[in-house]
Amino acid sequence: MAGLTACGGDKSDEGKASDKTGDNGGQSVGSPLAALKLASQRTDQQNSAKVEGTTQNGTQTAEMSGAMDWADGMNATMTITQKGGAIASSPIAGKPLQARYTPDAMFMNMGDEFAQQAGGGKHWIKYDYDVLAEKAGASGAFLKDQMQNNNPSRSVQLLMASGKVKKVGSESVKGAETTHYTGTVEVSELAKMQSTDLSQSDLDALQKQMEQSGMKTETIDLWIDNKNLLVKKREQAKSNNGGYDSTVFYSDYGTKVTVEEPSSSDTISFEEMAGGAGAPKPSS
CATH number for the domain harbouring residue 71: 2.50.20.20
Q: Where are the alpha helices (DSSP H) in 98-257?
A: 112-117, 129-135, 137-148, 153-162, 187-194, 200-212
Domain count of the fold of the chain: 1
207-235 residue pLDDT tens: 676 666 667 788 999 999 999 999 999 99
Q: Is residue 139 part of a domain?
A: yes
- Say whether pLDDT at 161 is over 70: yes
For 261-284, the pLDDT digits (tens) are 999 999 999 888 875 433 344 333
Flag whether 5 is in a domain. Answer: no
The span from the CA of 176 to the CA of 224, in Å, is 10
pLDDT value at residue 217 = 81
Residue-number span of the structural domain to which 177 is assigned: 30-273
Averaged pLDDT of the chain? 80
227 lies in a domain? Answer: yes
Structural domain includes residue 13: no
Within a domain: 6? no
Distance of alpha carbon 122 from alpha carbon 96, whole angstroms:
17
Specify if 269 maps to a domain.
Answer: yes
Q: Using an 8 Å Cβ cutoff, are 74 and 257 in contact?
A: no
Identify whether 282 is part of a domain: no
Short-list 138, 115, 125, CA closest to 272: 125
Is position 281 within any domain?
no
* pLDDT tops 90 at residue 13: no
Q: Is the pLDDT of residue 39 over 80?
A: yes
